[in-house]
Amino acid sequence: MSSRRSRSRQSSSSRITDEQINDLVSKLQALLPEAGIRSNERVSAASVLQDTCNYIRSLHQEANDLSERLSELLATTDASSAQAAIIRSLLM
Amino acid sequence: MSAFHFLRALSQINKTTPKSSLLLRSRRIRHAAYASMAYTAGRSRLWSRALLRRLQRRSRLRYFSSQRTRAVIAPRRLKAVRPRSGEPSRAEALRRLVPGGAGMDYCSLLDETAHYIQCLSSQVQLMQKVVGSISS
């Protein structure tokens, strides 16, 4: 926690360099789903942030949809067979 | 690690929720997904701490739930996010999406977002696996 605190103190006097920001932005870009396709392009920080926002929203939506799907499945599936199937899929 | 936590929660939810309450079960499952994600990341991250706080607040409200408090849980009360100078405009939107983002400096926001995305996408993949294995 102390290293984080000192970092934020320094940032208020803008000692965070552009290079550090660019590094963090490219790290983000690498995590986006189309990272492989776009790796050679020079994209602006603004578009990386935009794509990141869209990606997070789509993940949230997917989590919602999967929760609904799981809710339906648990209602209709026999408990023990569901458990067996889950354990099987995670161990194999 | 998060798999164990999430599956245990699923099993608990399945036992305690009536089969007919599709919506309630789906909400609890979603809560369990974010909880196991945050719990696994632990207290080492700003986003996970913020998410754990938010979830604990909600489940405490639910425990003491009455007709009045139920209305409070549903809309997400977001901490006010104001535009900060020297940042791309999209940083504002990002702050709203990442738990605890409103209170972070720009550098921390970028760093926390990267970790949040990794954990969120792992959780989604786990849920896809579970759905896949039950429905086959």
**Most B CBs within 10 Å, among A5, A70, A76, A90, to test the B interface:** A70
B28-37, B70-79, B90-99, B110-119: least confident range = B70-79
| Residue ranges, chain A, pLDDT below 50 | 10-11
Average pLDDT score, chain B? 85
How many CA atoms are closer than 13 Å to the CA of B50, on its beta-carbon side?
19
Task: Using a CB–CB cutoff of 8 Å, tell me whether A15 touches chain B.
Answer: no
Whether the per-residue pLDDT at B50 is higher than 90: the answer is yes
Tokens for A47? 């578009």
- Confidence band, pLDDT 50/70/90 cuts, at residue B99: very high
Q: In the prediction, which pLDDT does B69 show? A: 47
Residue A36 host element (H or E)? helix A35-38
pTM: 0.81
Q: How many CB atoms are located within 10 Å of the residue B11 CB? A: 15
Cα B16-B17-B18 angle, rounded to 5 deg: 120
Q: What is the ipTM of this complex?
A: 0.84
pLDDT for residue B62 is more than 70 = no
Chain A positions in Cβ-Cβ contact with residue B106 (cut-off 8 Å): 11, 16, 21
d(CA A35, CA A13): 33
Q: d(Cα B128, Cα A63) in Å, to the nearest integer? A: 9
How near does any CA of chain A get to the CA of B94, in Å?
6
Greatest CA span in chain A, whole angstroms? 61
Confidence (pLDDT) at B72: 46
Give the whole-angstrom CA distance, residue B106 versus residue B87: 7
Sequence spans of domains, chain A? 2-91
pLDDT digits (tens, 9 = 90+) for B82-94: 777 777 778 999 9
Q: Which residues lie below 8 Å from residue B59, measured CB to CB, with a gap of 6+?
A: B31
Q: Which of B52-61, B64-73, B106-115 has the highest mean pLDDT?
A: B106-115
pLDDT for B135: 80
Distance of alpha carbon B86 from alpha carbon A16, whole angstroms = 12
